[in-house]
Each structure stands twice: as structure tokens, then as C-alpha cells.
């Protein structure tokens, strides 16, 4: 996506705001474009408090391109000049726009814009913000689908500001008491000994999570064997797996997944700048096209629960068919881990709790 600001847009904004007060007469044509009290998801439009600051942007999206998942903390509206755009929300709701359409953008809702046509999309976006408030946030700082499980998606603006940076656990105790991993069966211990690397062993051993999963003795053994075996047998390298796992921690706001895998990720060559890129959902820091493709697909699987034709076309030039199966398997494993962590408030073990978190600089 290429974004450019033009002083001409300020003139357009002033012309629009003054034109609505004009009456049609000879030489003057007034065409109402929009008059809304709610954004397109049905939530009321609320002006932020603070020193007002108006901003206008000309946004261009190439054919097949996407804006990336993001949110706006301030009200805005967009006017489509050219092209066809589909906007998707975190709950799967979608809206299609063509040239001449106007959209009251959602506030504090994770969304993604995709060019569904064959020509560049051009739209003018006007923001009613405040001095010092960002116009957009990357998806790591936005309310997302999994987070909605902890509250109504129709939260008030103030409530949502507090939730956008929420990570889990956010309660002092686990909702279910973990069993002691001292009682792991010998055959389970043998399986866990096959884990690659040292990051999930010793101080990094996920004893509290395993203690929860031990509550079902019949399924734990087969799952552990599947989980550990897939790490060494799937076509994704250990570094690629850890990139995806860390991104799953961000997407589910699971500090347990994130902190347990920082050490593992570093063991397999993930650097601090790359950790920041995973936090932000901005993948330019990764030189390898495979790694960028895997991370983009992970975002799509979690946020869209699907794979768009444009993303399929782009990534299928880079990945092999088996890679998609392996990636879906890996994502599904960490849906189990992350959802268990955030839903049951699984507490971090003391040595791991001190590691940098999702929202740490």
C-alpha cells in the first residue's frame, strides 16, 4: 500500500464541509455524500477528547494488495475515488465498496482492506482526531477476534481503549488448578525429552500448561506424541515454526505462549528486531519470502479463518502444497495452547514471567 498526503486534500475537505451548508443555485451543485451517526459496524461515532486535529490522506492499494490488519482509534470516513475494495472485520463481516461509495470507518475494530479489482484503489480518508493520537494502529495493538471472547464486541469506546492492549493472564490465579507434572507418566516424559532445542526444558518447561492438559489422561499422551513428532517431521524449519508460534502468541494476546517461545526463538536465530516485527505484524524485517508468506498466512488463518484468493495466489508461488498442511497443523496446535492459556488464565512460571512481554518495548 502506498499512502500520500496532498495539500489539495485539505481543500477538498474544506470544500466538502462548506458545501453541505450551501443551497443549490445556478452554478452551484450540492450532492450529499454521507450523513452518519454510526460507523458501518453499527457503533455510535464518538469524537475523542483533546485538542482537535483534522487529517486527510490519499490512500492507494495495488491490485491484489491489502492494507494489513489494523484499527483506527479516532473516527474517520473514506470516499472511494477509483477501484473496488473489500473491507473485512475481525468477526468475518465484510463490506464491498466501489468508486463513489462513502464509508464511515469503524473505530477500535480490527479490519483489513483488500483490492478485489484489476486497477489500483484510490480513496480519500478524513480523520477527526486529536493532537498526538495516532490515526492507525497495527494489529498487535488492536482488539481482535480471539479477544472478543472475553467481552461483547459492541463495547463502548472507552472500554475498547482499555482492551486493545490487554494480554493474558490478567487475573492473579489460574481458574483451574494445574496437576503436578511430577505425576507425568514415564512414557510422556520420554516424549517430551524429544523436544528440539533446550528452550522448553529446564526453567522453560511449561509445567502449568501441561498440568492443565493432564486433567484428561486419555488424550494427553497421543497429543504430546503428535505435537513433538510434528516438530521434527513437518517441512517447516524450527526457525519458521517459532516465527509462527510467536505470532500466535501475539494474535491471541497470550503471554504464556509468547514468553515461553522467546527463548526458543532466539535459540533458532530470531533476533530482537524480528521479535518487534512479529509484535507489530509488519514483516518487512524478514528477508526470506517463505518467512513473510508463513506469517501472512498465520494472520489470515486466525483473523479471517480463511485464505483469500489473492493471498493464495501470492503465497503458492513461494510455498509447496505440504507447507500449507504443516502450517495449518502448527496453527491448530497453538490455538489449543493459546486458548487454554487465555481462557483458563494459566499462570506463568516465575523464571519465564520475567522475560519481555508482548507489549514490552
Give mean pLDDT, residues 193-222: 94
pTM over 0.75: no
144 pLDDT band (50/70/90 cuts)?
very low
* Pairwise CA distance, residues 290 & 52, whole Å: 43
Cβ atoms of 326 and 236 within 8 Å: the answer is yes
Q: Which residue has the cell 494488495?
A: 65
181-353 folds as AhpD-like (1.20.1290)
* Pairwise CA distance, residues 160 & 73, whole Å: 9
2-163 folds as Jelly Rolls (2.60.120)
Give mean pLDDT, residues 323-344: 96
pLDDT at 79 exceeding the cut of 50: yes
Phi, psi of 3 (to 5 degrees): -120, 125
335 pLDDT band (50/70/90 cuts)?
very high
343 pLDDT band (50/70/90 cuts)?
very high
Residue ranges of the domains in the chain?
Answer: 2-163, 181-353
Measure the N-to-C terminal CA separation of the chain; round to a whole number of Å: 26
For 231, other C-beta atoms within 10 Å of its C-beta total 17
* Pairwise CA distance, residues 203 & 107, whole Å: 41
pLDDT at 51 exceeding the cut of 50: yes
| Torsional class of 338: left (φ above 0), alpha (ψ -120 to 50), beta (otherwise) | alpha
The closest alpha carbon to 351, from 245, 212, 200, belongs to 200
360 pLDDT band (50/70/90 cuts)?
confident
pLDDT at 350 exceeding the cut of 70: yes
Which of 2-11, 45-54, 128-137, 271-280 bottoms out in mean pLDDT, i.e. has the lowest? Answer: 2-11
- Residue 277 β-bridge partners: none
Q: Strands 85-89 and 94-97: what pairing?
A: antiparallel
Distances (CA, A) of 301 to 247, 292, 308, 311: 12, 14, 10, 11
Amino acid at each position: 500500500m502506498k499512502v500520500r498526503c496532498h495539500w489539495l486534500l485539505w481543500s477538498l475537505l474544506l470544500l466538502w464541509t462548506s458545501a453541505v451548508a450551501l443551497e443549490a443555485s445556478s452554478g452551484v451543485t450540492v450532492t450529499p455524500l454521507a450523513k452518519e451517526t454510526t460507523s458501518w459496524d453499527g457503533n455510535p461515532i464518538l469524537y475523542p477528547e483533546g485538542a482537535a486535529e483534522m487529517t486527510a490522506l490519499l490512500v492507494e492499494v495495488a491490485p491484489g494488495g491489502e492494507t494489513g490488519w489494523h484499527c483506527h482509534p479516532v473516527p474517520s470516513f473514506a470516499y472511494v475515488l477509483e477501484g473496488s475494495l473489500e473491507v473485512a472485520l475481525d468477526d468475518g463481516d465484510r463490506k464491498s465498496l466501489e468508486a463513489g461509495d462513502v464509508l464511515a470507518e469503524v473505530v477500535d475494530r480490527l479490519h483489513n482492506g483488500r483490492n478485489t479489482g484489476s486497477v489500483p484503489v484510490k480513496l480519500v480518508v478524513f480523520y477527526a482526531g486529536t493532537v498526538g493520537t495516532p490515526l492507525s494502529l497495527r494489529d498487535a495493538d488492536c482488539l481482535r477476534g480471539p479477544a472478543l471472547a472475553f467481552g461483547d464486541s459492541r463495547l463502548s469506546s472507552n472500554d475498547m481503549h482499555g482492551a486493545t492492549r490487554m494480554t493474558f493472564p490478567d487475573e492473579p490465579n489460574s481458574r483451574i488448578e494445574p496437576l503436578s507434572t511430577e505425576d507425568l507418566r514415564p512414557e510422556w516424559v520420554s516424549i517430551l525429552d524429544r523436544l528440539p532445542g533446550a528452550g522448553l526444558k529446564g526453567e522453560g518447561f511449561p509445567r502449568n500448561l501441561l498440568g492443565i492438559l493432564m486433567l484428561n489422561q486419555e488424550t494427553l499422551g497421543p497429543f504430546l506424541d503428535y505435537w513433538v513428532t510434528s516438530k521434527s517431521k513437518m517441512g517447516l524449519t524450527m526457525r519458521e515454526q517459532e516465527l509462527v508460534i510467536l505470532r500466535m502468541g501475539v494474535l491471541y494476546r497470550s503471554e504464556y505462549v509468547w514468553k515461553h517461545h522467546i527463548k526458543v526463538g532466539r535459540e533458532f536465530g530470531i533476533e530482537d528486531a524480528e521479535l518487534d516485527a512479529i509484535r507489530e505484524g509488519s514483516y518487512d524485517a524478514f528477508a526470506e519470502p517463505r518467512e513473510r508468506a508463513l506469517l501472512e498466512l498465520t494472520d489470515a488463518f486466525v483473523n479471517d479463518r480463511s485464505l483469500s484468493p489473492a493471498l493464495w495466489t501470492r503465497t503458492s508461488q513461494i510455498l509447496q502444497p505440504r507447507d500449507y498442511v504443516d502450517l495449518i497443523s502448527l496453527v491448530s496446535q497453538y490455538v489449543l495452547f493459546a486458548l487454554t492459556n487465555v481462557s483458563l488464565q494459566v499462570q506463568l512460571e516465575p523464571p519465564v514471567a520475567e522475560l519481555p512481554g508482548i507489549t514490552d518495548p
